[in-house]
């Protein structure tokens, strides 16, 4: 499906929230990173999201984040668009990083709403207003209250979108269809609603979402991308079939936290290792047995 991004808008299709592979000693596995970049691109994803939640940025230091951003941009060579994850709960620090981090080669920034602090809706608004003023790139909001502890209400999303011209969309992972509908009813035509939940992508696209930023696209890039493409084309019968085929895999992803599940699948499939950084731990033996069982069902 691809991306039209002349002004940081019209992100359509499948973005992969890319993992950060680690070696057994816990250091970044750059050959593994190349492999997952190739695997997902060749599988049909439309764009990469680097250093999103699935990339474990909470356990990466500043120097590692900078090196990953530079490495991916250099290796990608403009083949598909890049979004840099740059969120957090320290508004001043993020604003500084937006000015200082190497964002050459990136099309936009994905910024999760502040976590832990539990700001009011006014605090969330003022946070994004400050980031909007600091950012050299268009910004996509990211609402995931299951992780942040605070929901970005639809009225706050719409207020930010109205007052901050370079905020062009939101990755919505609240699971609240009333909230999705309110955003879709009142948003400007060029403001994008993007699913942040693999399992809700098809019904959200049916309502008017323009795509998905996916975890499962790390391990299943082709079927995930095809599901989203068919839904965007209005072929919901076939998109539903793809969703149901992927649904068992989707349930595995989050049984032991993200990205533990998807890294376990990738290791079983020989793409890269399953190492995560503490406080996360690699997938359990029971999780691996479930993955093997799903693979046997598919083979059968």
In whole angstroms, give the CA distance from residue 191 to residue 195: 13
φ, ψ for residue 228 (rounded to 5)? -65, -45
Catalytic residues: 142, 171
φ, ψ for residue 167 (rounded to 5)? -90, 110
In whole angstroms, give the CA distance from residue 7 to residue 159: 20
Give the closest residue to 279 by CA, choosing from 261, 253, 260, 255.
260
DSSP 240-263: HHHHHHHHHHHHHHTTT-TTHHHH
Give the closest residue to 200 by CA, choosing from 227, 235, 223, 182.
227
Cβ atoms of residues 1 and 12 within 8 Å: yes
Contacts of 144 (CB under 8 A, 6+ apart): 53, 112, 113, 171, 173, 174, 196
* 3 state SS of 83: strand
In whole angstroms, give the CA distance from residue 174 to residue 131: 22
């Amino acid at each position: 499906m691809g991306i039209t991004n002349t002004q940081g808008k019209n992100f359509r299709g499948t973005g992969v929230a890319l993992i950060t592979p680690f070696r057994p000693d816990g250091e970044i596995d750059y050959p593994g990173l190349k492999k997952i970049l190739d695997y997902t691109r060749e599988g049909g994803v439309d764009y990469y999201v680097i250093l999103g939640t699935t990339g474990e940025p909470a356990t990466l230091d500043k120097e590692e984040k900078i090196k990953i951003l530079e490495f991916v941009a250099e290796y990608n060579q403009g083949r598909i668009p890049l979004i840099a994850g740059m969120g957090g709960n320290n508004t001043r620090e993020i604003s500084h990083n937006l000015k200082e981090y190497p964002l050459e080669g990136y099309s936009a920034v994905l910024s999760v709403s502040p976590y832990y602090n539990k700001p009011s809706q006014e605090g969330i608004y003022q946070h994004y207003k400050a980031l909007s003023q600091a950012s050299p790139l268009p910004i996509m909001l990211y609402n995931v209250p299951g992780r942040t502890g605070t929901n970005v209400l639809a009225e706050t999303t719409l207020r930010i979108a109205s007052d901050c011209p370079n905020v062009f969309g939101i990755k919505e992972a609240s699971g609240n269809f009333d909230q999705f509908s309110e955003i879709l009813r009142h948003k400007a035509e060029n403001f994008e609603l993007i699913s942040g939940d693999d399992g809700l992508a098809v019904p959200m696209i049916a309502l008017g979402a323009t795509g998905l930023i996916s975890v499962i696209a790390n391990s299943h890039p082709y079927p995930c991308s095809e599901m989203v493409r068919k839904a965007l084309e209005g072929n919901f019968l076939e998109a539903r079939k793809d969703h149901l085929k992927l649904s068992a895999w989707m349930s595995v992803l989050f049984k032991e936290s993200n990205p533990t599940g998807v890294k376990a699948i990738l290791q079983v499939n020989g793409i890269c290792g399953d190492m995560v950084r503490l406080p996360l731990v690699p997938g359990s033996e029971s999780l691996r047995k479930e993955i093997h069982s799903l693979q046997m069902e598919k083979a059968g």
